[in-house]
Structure 1
Amino acid sequence: MNKVSMPSSSEPYFTRLPVVFSLAILCTFLWGSAYPAIKTGYALLHIEQHDIASQMVFAGQRFLLAGLILLALARLLKKPSIAFTRTTLAQLTVLGLSQTTVQYIFFYIGLAYTTGVKASILNATGTFFSVLLAHFIYQNDRLTHRKFLGCTIGFTGVFLVNFNHSLLDFQFTLAGEGSIVLAAFFLASASIYGKRLSQRMDAMLMTAWQLAIGGAALLVIGYLSGGHSGEFDLSSVLLLIYLALLSSAAFALWSILLKYNPVGMITIFNFLIPIFGSLLSALFLNENILEWKNLIALVFVCSGIYLVTRRQLVTRRQTH
């Protein structure tokens, strides 16, 4: 009589589907909430749209604080320290500068020049960049017809959201929409590199150090460029703490999920980020999500993400 195979008790906790689903959805909700939170922070701190240096200071404060929070949490959990060597320090520095510094230079600039709804849809291009990059990096993750179709549908949605109401004017600026797309590309590239590093070091500590290094670099760049910290009061302090906490929690959990699961299976949940980002931006910033082009673009982007990543999820469900 054939025995029913059961999951091994030694199987990592973060590969169990209910845990993966719950944590991935939490991460995407937190990232989606960042869009209205950052734009609210600009208003509370009186940071003007053109004041890029102060935007970098604001970002640096957020990510340096997020890294320090994670380092403190790792200490409380008594996680073994990373054995720092010249190679390890170089790897963490590269990850921090790419995944935090460079990505968020473009992200914060872009968000100052476009709406939260539009930015949340455009930033979903990161999933399609991940699929295209994986084709050239991983032998077992080639670009299939289904993935190509998903990327095409997704980029069509991104293209559509940049038209005005009459579809006669293509509204795309390098400072705004272009910066958001570039931020998505750098995040996709850095995430693949981060997955490789997480196989050799603790994911929480890796995330903590890359956030701290990247945040410190943003602070230095911002201050040297003439930026200022803004006028902090209780509301802006609480908002900064929230942004730091969402970064530390989301990045740490996402890194752990990527460490124990296929990239494609986790990135399927990225379709929730533009949904959460659009809904929360509409709620807190009074932005219009009900424009027909926004709704159609949202459907296209989410459908594209689902198509490029659905096989990994189906395979895992059958295995379990």
Structure 2
Amino acid sequence: MTMPTTTTGPRDSARFFSQPKVLITLATLCCLLWGSSYPAIKIGYALLGIAQNDIPSKLIFAGYRFVLAGLILLILAALTKKPLFNLNGRNAGQLMLLGFTQTAIQYVFFYIGLANTTGVRGSILNSTTTFFSVLLAHFIYQNDKISRRKAAGCLLGFAGVMVVNFGDGLLDFAFSLRGEGFIVIAAFVLSAASIYGKRISQGMDVMVMTGYQLGFGGVVLLAAGYTTGGTLSAFTPGSAALLGYLAVLSAVAFTLWSLLLKYNQVGRVTVFNFLVPVFGTALSAIWLNENIMELKNLVALVLVCSGIWMVTRLPQVRARYSNPAVALTDVPECSRSQS
């Protein structure tokens, strides 16, 4: 006896994920999850006894997180009967390259950088991903050139990055390559890898693509960490639960964000990116007892959020885009994929 199954067509999914209430709720949830990762990672370092300069162990910590996240997504993909093994050699090569860049390389810089700066600074600096994406898209996509508004937004955002790195005086610029520098490099790598991910997601299920790239990137991080002498030997129920939270965070946030991008115009979704540094700084202040009330932090946060709003805000959209079914088929291809 077989149980009847129900399927949801693309138009039904488009209607659901393009509803304003659904878009606002899920996009805000994604930003909250990503913002919470900044204090969670630093708390994980403390719980597992990972020293600030113990880079190999940090890579192992990151590797376990993304291997678990990838497995969660692939198991869900199998349970929902998605085409898990419908891959050819070209697809496998693309997924390996995406996992190596978007997960492994990006998080090598991110985890090391976050260990050498505060959670507040890290959340603000990592938001430069939006501005790098705008600059790269200008040279790659004919229909996504930089306008005056976008240029002004980028300038505001990078001004915020400058402000947050000032010390006690205007001439005291507190910036280290292995701290703030690595966070910015990670943001650039993520921007470039995301553009590549947009291309390959057109011929592949988003959940399957994300699961494989997270899993492969995690394996690379584990191999790099263990071969360079890293170890994690202080696991406790608390640290294991935190690692599980980070894995679920990645799996849920990446999948939901990708679905929102698939069924909405990119600008309608990415406008919520300004919430990531807001949540990141607030949660870092709460859980890490970091001082968010410094004037430079507040000024930097306002500048960065304003810049993100300016570069991602869409001009007035024609009424025909209010129909999800029309929007799904009429939005340019590069706008209907993972960010």
TM-score category of the 2 structures, normalised to the smaller one: over 0.9
The answer to whether the 8 A contact 2:106-2:186 is kept is yes
Q: Please state how far the C-alpha of 1:97 moved relative to its aligned partner.
A: 0.7
| 2:26 counterpart (23, 27, 31) | 23
Q: Which residue of 1 aligns with 2:42?
A: 39
Task: State the SS of the aligned residue for 1:311.
Answer: coil
Q: Which residue of 2 aligns with 1:167?
A: 170
CA RMSD of aligned residues (A): 1.6
Q: Please state how far the C-alpha of 1:194 moved relative to its aligned partner.
A: 1.3
Q: Which residue of 1 aligns with 2:296?
A: 293
| 2:108 counterpart (69, 87, 105) | 105
Q: Which residue of 1 aligns with 2:59?
A: 56
Structure 1 stretch 15-24 or stretch 258-267: which is displaced more? 258-267
> Match for 1:231: what amino acid?
A
Q: Please state how far the C-alpha of 1:82 moved relative to its aligned partner.
A: 4.2
Q: Which runs of 5+ in 2 are unaligned?
A: 1-10, 323-339
Q: Separation in 2 of the partners of 1:317 and 1:231?
A: 57
The answer to whether the 8 A contact 2:127-2:187 is kept is yes
Q: Taking structure 1 as reference, are residues 162 and 32 closer, same or farther at Cα in structure 2, changes over 3 Å only?
A: same
Q: Please state how far the C-alpha of 1:80 moved relative to its aligned partner.
A: 2.5
Q: Which residue of 2 aligns with 1:94?
A: 97
Q: Separation in 1 of the partners of 2:280 and 2:95?
A: 29
Q: Taking structure 1 as reference, are residues 51 and 281 closer, same or farther at Cα in structure 2, changes over 3 Å only?
A: same
Q: Please state how far the C-alpha of 1:188 moved relative to its aligned partner.
A: 1.0
Q: Separation in 1 of the partners of 2:44 and 2:159?
A: 31
Q: Please state how far the C-alpha of 1:178 moved relative to its aligned partner.
A: 0.4
| 1:273 counterpart (276, 279, 282) | 276
| 2:265 counterpart (262, 267, 279) | 262
Aligned residues: 312
| 1:244 counterpart (216, 239, 247) | 247
Cα deviation 1:33-92 (Å, max 9, x = unaligned): 000000000000000000001000000000001100111111222222241211000010
The answer to whether the 8 A contact 1:195-1:259 is kept is no
Q: Which residue of 1 aligns with 2:223?
A: 220
> Match for 2:211: what amino acid?
A
Q: Taking structure 1 as reference, are residues 219 and 317 closer, same or farther at Cα in structure 2, changes over 3 Å only?
A: farther
Q: Which runs of 5+ in 1 are unaligned?
A: 1-7
Q: Which residue of 2 aligns with 1:315?
A: 317
Q: Taking structure 1 as reference, are residues 53 and 255 closer, same or farther at Cα in structure 2, changes over 3 Å only?
A: same
Q: Separation in 2 of the partners of 1:49 and 1:154?
A: 29
Runs of 4+ in structure 1 displaced over 6 angstroms?
none
Q: Separation in 2 of the partners of 1:118 and 1:69?
A: 30
Matches within 5 A, 1:104-143: 104-143=107-146
| 1:199 counterpart (196, 199, 202) | 202
Q: Please state how far the C-alpha of 1:237 moved relative to its aligned partner.
A: 0.4
The answer to whether the 8 A contact 1:30-1:246 is kept is yes
Q: Which residue of 2 aligns with 1:182?
A: 185
> Match for 1:109: what amino acid?
I
Q: Please state how far the C-alpha of 1:24 moved relative to its aligned partner.
A: 1.2
> Match for 2:31: what amino acid?
T
Cα deviation 1:4-56 (Å, max 9, x = unaligned): xxxx7674532333222221111110000000000000000000000001000
Q: Separation in 1 of the partners of 2:106 and 2:13?
A: 37
Structure 1 stretch 54-63 or stretch 263-272: which is displaced more? 263-272
Task: State the SS of the aligned residue for 1:199.
Answer: helix
The two structures have a TM-score, normalised by structure 2, of 0.89
